[in-house]
Amino acid sequence: HSDMVWSQGQNMSTQGPFILLGFPGLKSLRVGLFLLFLVMYLFTVAGNLAIISLVAAHRRLQTPMYFFLCNLSFLEIWFTTACVPKTLDIFASRVGAISLAGCAAQMYFVFSLGCTEYFLLAAMAYERYLAICLPLRYGGIMTPGLAAWLTLGSWVCGFSAIAVPAALIARLSFCGSRVINHFFCDIAPWIVLSCTDTRVVELASFSIAFCVILGPCCVTLVSYVHIIVTIVRIPSTQGRHRAFSTCSSHLSVVLIWYGSTIFLHVRTSVESSLDLTKAVTVLNTIVTPVLNPFIYTLRNRDVKEALHRTMRGK
Protein backbone atom coordinates (compact mmCIF):
# COMPACT_ATOMS: atom_id res chain seq x y z
CA HIS A 1 0.00 0.00 0.00
CA SER A 2 1.56 3.27 -1.12
CA ASP A 3 0.48 5.28 1.93
CA MET A 4 1.90 2.65 4.26
CA VAL A 5 5.23 2.48 2.41
CA TRP A 6 5.53 6.25 2.45
CA SER A 7 4.75 6.36 6.19
CA GLN A 8 7.31 3.70 7.04
CA GLY A 9 10.10 5.00 4.84
CA GLN A 10 10.00 8.77 5.33
CA ASN A 11 10.53 11.05 8.29
CA MET A 12 7.41 12.98 9.11
CA SER A 13 7.13 16.41 10.66
CA THR A 14 6.17 16.70 14.30
CA GLN A 15 2.78 17.97 13.20
CA GLY A 16 1.95 14.99 10.98
CA PRO A 17 -0.69 12.39 11.82
CA PHE A 18 -0.11 8.90 13.12
CA ILE A 19 -1.12 5.92 11.01
CA LEU A 20 -2.93 3.05 12.74
CA LEU A 21 -1.85 -0.11 10.96
CA GLY A 22 -4.81 -2.19 12.14
CA PHE A 23 -4.91 -5.67 10.63
CA PRO A 24 -3.19 -5.48 7.22
CA GLY A 25 -4.27 -8.09 4.72
CA LEU A 26 -6.43 -8.87 1.74
CA LYS A 27 -9.54 -6.82 0.99
CA SER A 28 -11.79 -9.80 1.75
CA LEU A 29 -10.16 -10.11 5.19
CA ARG A 30 -10.75 -6.43 5.93
CA VAL A 31 -14.39 -6.69 4.89
CA GLY A 32 -14.89 -9.74 7.10
CA LEU A 33 -13.23 -8.06 10.08
CA PHE A 34 -15.25 -4.87 9.51
CA LEU A 35 -18.52 -6.81 9.64
CA LEU A 36 -17.40 -8.87 12.65
CA PHE A 37 -16.29 -5.82 14.65
CA LEU A 38 -19.45 -3.91 13.69
CA VAL A 39 -21.80 -6.72 14.74
CA MET A 40 -19.96 -7.26 18.03
CA TYR A 41 -19.97 -3.54 18.76
CA LEU A 42 -23.72 -3.28 18.15
CA PHE A 43 -24.33 -6.34 20.36
CA THR A 44 -22.14 -4.80 23.08
CA VAL A 45 -24.05 -1.52 23.11
CA ALA A 46 -27.50 -3.15 22.82
CA GLY A 47 -26.78 -5.85 25.40
CA ASN A 48 -25.37 -3.52 28.02
CA LEU A 49 -28.14 -0.97 27.46
CA ALA A 50 -30.63 -3.81 27.97
CA ILE A 51 -29.03 -4.65 31.33
CA ILE A 52 -29.24 -1.01 32.46
CA SER A 53 -32.86 -0.74 31.28
CA LEU A 54 -33.87 -3.96 33.06
CA VAL A 55 -32.42 -2.80 36.36
CA ALA A 56 -34.06 0.61 36.02
CA ALA A 57 -37.45 -0.94 35.19
CA HIS A 58 -37.62 -3.61 37.92
CA ARG A 59 -37.61 -2.58 41.57
CA ARG A 60 -36.49 -6.08 42.60
CA LEU A 61 -33.19 -5.50 40.80
CA GLN A 62 -32.50 -2.12 42.40
CA THR A 63 -29.98 -3.47 44.92
CA PRO A 64 -26.23 -2.78 45.41
CA MET A 65 -25.34 -5.88 43.35
CA TYR A 66 -27.23 -4.63 40.30
CA PHE A 67 -26.15 -1.04 40.90
CA PHE A 68 -22.57 -2.24 40.41
CA LEU A 69 -23.67 -4.25 37.38
CA CYS A 70 -25.24 -1.16 35.79
CA ASN A 71 -22.00 0.73 36.26
CA LEU A 72 -20.08 -2.15 34.69
CA SER A 73 -22.45 -2.17 31.72
CA PHE A 74 -22.18 1.61 31.34
CA LEU A 75 -18.37 1.31 31.48
CA GLU A 76 -18.30 -1.46 28.86
CA ILE A 77 -20.30 0.67 26.42
CA TRP A 78 -17.80 3.51 26.60
CA PHE A 79 -14.76 1.23 26.81
CA THR A 80 -15.56 -0.42 23.49
CA THR A 81 -16.75 2.89 21.97
CA ALA A 82 -13.36 4.43 22.72
CA CYS A 83 -11.59 2.13 20.23
CA VAL A 84 -14.02 0.20 17.98
CA PRO A 85 -15.44 3.07 15.84
CA LYS A 86 -11.91 4.17 14.90
CA THR A 87 -11.04 0.54 14.11
CA LEU A 88 -14.05 0.35 11.78
CA ASP A 89 -12.81 3.53 10.10
CA ILE A 90 -9.43 1.87 9.52
CA PHE A 91 -11.11 -1.10 7.83
CA ALA A 92 -13.24 1.20 5.68
CA SER A 93 -10.65 3.83 4.69
CA ARG A 94 -7.48 1.65 4.67
CA VAL A 95 -5.48 4.67 5.86
CA GLY A 96 -6.17 4.91 9.60
CA ALA A 97 -4.78 8.44 10.05
CA ILE A 98 -5.24 9.94 13.51
CA SER A 99 -3.91 13.20 14.95
CA LEU A 100 -1.54 13.36 17.92
CA ALA A 101 -4.28 14.88 20.10
CA GLY A 102 -6.82 12.30 18.95
CA CYS A 103 -4.39 9.46 19.59
CA ALA A 104 -3.55 10.77 23.07
CA ALA A 105 -7.23 11.18 23.94
CA GLN A 106 -8.08 7.68 22.74
CA MET A 107 -5.20 6.17 24.71
CA TYR A 108 -6.20 8.04 27.87
CA PHE A 109 -9.88 7.01 27.76
CA VAL A 110 -9.24 3.38 26.81
CA PHE A 111 -6.76 2.87 29.63
CA SER A 112 -8.69 4.94 32.18
CA LEU A 113 -11.84 2.91 31.54
CA GLY A 114 -9.79 -0.30 31.68
CA CYS A 115 -8.31 0.68 35.05
CA THR A 116 -11.79 1.58 36.32
CA GLU A 117 -12.98 -1.92 35.45
CA TYR A 118 -10.36 -3.47 37.75
CA PHE A 119 -11.55 -1.41 40.71
CA LEU A 120 -15.22 -1.95 39.89
CA LEU A 121 -14.80 -5.74 39.65
CA ALA A 122 -13.04 -5.67 43.04
CA ALA A 123 -15.94 -3.71 44.56
CA MET A 124 -18.38 -6.26 43.12
CA ALA A 125 -16.32 -9.11 44.62
CA TYR A 126 -16.42 -7.42 48.04
CA GLU A 127 -20.20 -7.01 47.73
CA ARG A 128 -20.58 -10.74 46.96
CA TYR A 129 -18.34 -11.55 49.94
CA LEU A 130 -20.65 -9.62 52.26
CA ALA A 131 -23.79 -11.19 50.74
CA ILE A 132 -22.56 -14.80 51.02
CA CYS A 133 -20.21 -14.76 54.03
CA LEU A 134 -21.93 -12.14 56.22
CA PRO A 135 -25.59 -12.27 55.16
CA LEU A 136 -26.96 -11.03 58.51
CA ARG A 137 -24.73 -7.95 58.46
CA TYR A 138 -25.03 -7.35 54.71
CA GLY A 139 -27.84 -4.78 54.89
CA GLY A 140 -26.08 -2.77 57.58
CA ILE A 141 -22.71 -2.68 55.79
CA MET A 142 -23.53 -2.58 52.07
CA THR A 143 -25.83 0.42 52.17
CA PRO A 144 -26.75 2.38 49.02
CA GLY A 145 -24.39 5.09 50.25
CA LEU A 146 -21.41 2.72 50.52
CA ALA A 147 -22.20 1.24 47.11
CA ALA A 148 -22.22 4.75 45.64
CA TRP A 149 -18.91 5.66 47.30
CA LEU A 150 -17.25 2.43 46.14
CA THR A 151 -18.45 3.09 42.60
CA LEU A 152 -17.33 6.72 42.65
CA GLY A 153 -13.96 5.65 44.06
CA SER A 154 -13.56 3.11 41.25
CA TRP A 155 -14.14 5.75 38.59
CA VAL A 156 -11.89 8.34 40.26
CA CYS A 157 -9.05 5.85 40.82
CA GLY A 158 -9.34 4.52 37.28
CA PHE A 159 -9.13 7.94 35.64
CA SER A 160 -6.39 9.14 38.01
CA ALA A 161 -4.11 6.11 37.60
CA ILE A 162 -3.37 6.68 33.92
CA ALA A 163 -2.68 10.42 34.32
CA VAL A 164 1.06 10.02 35.07
CA PRO A 165 1.88 7.73 32.09
CA ALA A 166 -0.26 9.95 29.84
CA ALA A 167 1.65 13.06 30.93
CA LEU A 168 5.01 11.34 30.37
CA ILE A 169 3.99 10.05 26.94
CA ALA A 170 2.80 13.55 25.94
CA ARG A 171 6.42 14.72 26.38
CA LEU A 172 7.89 12.11 24.01
CA SER A 173 9.25 13.10 20.60
CA PHE A 174 8.29 11.22 17.44
CA CYS A 175 10.74 12.11 14.68
CA GLY A 176 10.66 9.01 12.47
CA SER A 177 7.98 6.62 11.29
CA ARG A 178 4.52 7.23 12.72
CA VAL A 179 2.97 3.89 11.85
CA ILE A 180 1.40 2.42 15.01
CA ASN A 181 1.29 -1.37 14.81
CA HIS A 182 -2.13 -1.64 16.43
CA PHE A 183 -5.82 -0.97 15.80
CA PHE A 184 -5.97 1.74 18.48
CA CYS A 185 -3.48 4.05 20.21
CA ASP A 186 -1.95 1.66 22.72
CA ILE A 187 0.90 2.72 25.01
CA ALA A 188 3.38 0.06 23.88
CA PRO A 189 3.48 0.97 20.15
CA TRP A 190 3.84 4.65 21.07
CA ILE A 191 6.90 3.84 23.18
CA VAL A 192 8.39 1.82 20.33
CA LEU A 193 7.99 4.75 17.90
CA SER A 194 9.57 7.39 20.13
CA CYS A 195 13.07 8.61 19.29
CA THR A 196 13.73 9.79 22.86
CA ASP A 197 14.64 7.85 26.00
CA THR A 198 11.53 5.91 27.09
CA ARG A 199 12.84 4.12 30.17
CA VAL A 200 10.98 6.42 32.57
CA VAL A 201 7.73 5.99 30.64
CA GLU A 202 8.15 2.20 30.52
CA LEU A 203 8.90 2.04 34.25
CA ALA A 204 5.97 4.29 35.15
CA SER A 205 3.57 2.37 32.90
CA PHE A 206 4.71 -0.98 34.27
CA SER A 207 4.56 0.18 37.90
CA ILE A 208 1.09 1.67 37.62
CA ALA A 209 -0.22 -1.32 35.66
CA PHE A 210 1.26 -3.63 38.30
CA CYS A 211 -0.36 -1.68 41.17
CA VAL A 212 -3.73 -1.26 39.41
CA ILE A 213 -3.87 -4.97 38.60
CA LEU A 214 -2.38 -6.32 41.85
CA GLY A 215 -4.44 -4.23 44.29
CA PRO A 216 -7.94 -5.06 42.97
CA CYS A 217 -6.76 -8.61 42.21
CA CYS A 218 -5.86 -9.14 45.88
CA VAL A 219 -9.25 -7.83 47.02
CA THR A 220 -11.02 -10.05 44.49
CA LEU A 221 -8.91 -13.10 45.34
CA VAL A 222 -9.34 -12.76 49.12
CA SER A 223 -13.09 -12.21 48.68
CA TYR A 224 -13.46 -15.35 46.60
CA VAL A 225 -11.33 -17.45 48.94
CA HIS A 226 -13.76 -16.59 51.75
CA ILE A 227 -16.75 -17.12 49.44
CA ILE A 228 -15.56 -20.57 48.36
CA VAL A 229 -14.82 -21.61 51.96
CA THR A 230 -18.28 -20.44 53.02
CA ILE A 231 -20.02 -22.22 50.13
CA VAL A 232 -18.18 -25.50 50.81
CA ARG A 233 -19.40 -25.41 54.43
CA ILE A 234 -23.05 -25.16 53.39
CA PRO A 235 -24.56 -28.56 54.26
CA SER A 236 -27.12 -28.92 51.46
CA THR A 237 -26.29 -29.32 47.78
CA GLN A 238 -29.15 -27.01 46.84
CA GLY A 239 -27.88 -24.35 49.22
CA ARG A 240 -24.36 -24.55 47.79
CA HIS A 241 -25.69 -24.31 44.25
CA ARG A 242 -27.88 -21.33 45.11
CA ALA A 243 -25.02 -19.50 46.81
CA PHE A 244 -22.59 -20.17 43.96
CA SER A 245 -25.11 -19.09 41.33
CA THR A 246 -25.20 -15.58 42.83
CA CYS A 247 -21.49 -15.03 42.12
CA SER A 248 -20.78 -17.31 39.14
CA SER A 249 -21.50 -14.57 36.58
CA HIS A 250 -19.13 -12.14 38.23
CA LEU A 251 -16.46 -14.83 38.61
CA SER A 252 -16.71 -15.67 34.89
CA VAL A 253 -16.21 -12.02 33.93
CA VAL A 254 -13.27 -11.70 36.35
CA LEU A 255 -11.50 -14.75 34.89
CA ILE A 256 -11.91 -13.55 31.29
CA TRP A 257 -10.81 -10.00 32.12
CA TYR A 258 -7.77 -10.89 34.20
CA GLY A 259 -6.71 -13.67 31.85
CA SER A 260 -6.28 -11.24 28.95
CA THR A 261 -5.12 -8.05 30.66
CA ILE A 262 -2.42 -9.58 32.84
CA PHE A 263 -0.67 -10.70 29.65
CA LEU A 264 -1.11 -7.29 28.05
CA HIS A 265 0.11 -5.00 30.81
CA VAL A 266 2.31 -6.82 33.33
CA ARG A 267 5.51 -7.20 31.36
CA THR A 268 8.83 -5.40 31.39
CA SER A 269 9.48 -5.14 27.63
CA VAL A 270 7.35 -3.59 24.92
CA GLU A 271 9.72 -4.11 22.01
CA SER A 272 8.35 -7.45 20.88
CA SER A 273 5.11 -9.40 20.41
CA LEU A 274 3.06 -6.42 19.17
CA ASP A 275 1.16 -8.66 16.74
CA LEU A 276 0.32 -11.08 19.55
CA THR A 277 -0.65 -8.12 21.72
CA LYS A 278 -3.14 -6.98 19.07
CA ALA A 279 -4.77 -10.41 19.03
CA VAL A 280 -5.14 -10.54 22.82
CA THR A 281 -6.37 -6.93 22.92
CA VAL A 282 -9.28 -7.93 20.68
CA LEU A 283 -10.38 -10.34 23.44
CA ASN A 284 -10.14 -7.68 26.10
CA THR A 285 -11.61 -4.66 24.25
CA ILE A 286 -14.20 -6.27 21.97
CA VAL A 287 -15.02 -9.86 22.96
CA THR A 288 -15.29 -9.37 26.75
CA PRO A 289 -17.69 -6.38 26.57
CA VAL A 290 -20.02 -8.29 24.23
CA LEU A 291 -19.93 -11.41 26.44
CA ASN A 292 -20.75 -9.69 29.72
CA PRO A 293 -24.47 -9.09 29.06
CA PHE A 294 -24.92 -12.70 27.91
CA ILE A 295 -23.03 -14.05 30.93
CA TYR A 296 -25.16 -12.06 33.37
CA THR A 297 -28.37 -12.87 31.50
CA LEU A 298 -27.82 -16.60 31.05
CA ARG A 299 -26.31 -17.29 34.50
CA ASN A 300 -28.39 -14.96 36.68
CA ARG A 301 -31.86 -16.06 37.70
CA ASP A 302 -33.11 -12.61 38.74
CA VAL A 303 -32.03 -11.02 35.45
CA LYS A 304 -33.59 -13.86 33.44
CA GLU A 305 -36.87 -13.49 35.32
CA ALA A 306 -36.87 -9.72 34.80
CA LEU A 307 -36.14 -10.23 31.09
CA HIS A 308 -39.01 -12.74 30.77
CA ARG A 309 -41.40 -10.38 32.54
CA THR A 310 -40.36 -7.53 30.25
CA MET A 311 -40.85 -9.67 27.14
CA ARG A 312 -44.33 -10.67 28.36
CA GLY A 313 -45.16 -7.01 28.93
CA LYS A 314 -45.59 -7.32 32.69
CATH number of the domain that residue 108 is part of = 1.20.1070.10
Whether residue 267 is predicted with pLDDT greater than 60 in this model: the reply is no
3 state SS for the chain: CHHHHHHHHCCCCCCCCEEECCCCCCHHHHHHHHHHHHHHHHHHHHHHHHHHHHHHHCHHHCCHHHHHHHHHHHHHHHHHHCCHHHHHHHHHHCCCEECHHHHHHHHHHHHHHHHHHHHHHHHHHHHHHHHHHCHHHHHHHCCHHHHHHHHHHHHHHHHHHCHHHHHHHHCCCCCCCCEECCCCCCHHHHHHHCCCCCHHHHHHHHHHHHHHHHHHHHHHHHHHHHHHHHHHCCCCHHHHHHHHHCCHHHHHHHHHHHHHHHHHHCCCCCCCCHHHHHHHHHHHHHHHHHHHHHHHHHCCHHHHHHHHHHHCCC
Q: Specify the range with the lowest mean pLDDT, choosing from 18-22, 287-291, 300-304.
A: 300-304
Rounded mean pLDDT of 56-80? 88
Number of folded domains that form the chain: 1
Report yes or no on 9 lying in a domain: no
Report yes or no on 10 lying in a domain: no
Report yes or no on 1 lying in a domain: no
Report yes or no on 294 lying in a domain: yes
Whether residue 16 is predicted with pLDDT greater than 70 in this model: the reply is no
**Of 61-75, 186-200, 264-278, where does the model show the most confidence?**
61-75
Model pTM score: 0.84
Report yes or no on 64 lying in a domain: yes
Report yes or no on 6 lying in a domain: no
Model pLDDT for residues 131-183, shown as the tens digit of each residue: 999 989 998 999 999 999 999 999 999 999 988 888 888 777 777 677 887 78
Whether residue 213 is predicted with pLDDT greater than 90 in this model: the reply is no
Rounded mean pLDDT of 248-252? 81
Higher pLDDT, 229 or 263: 229
Residue numbers of the domain that contains 286: 16-311
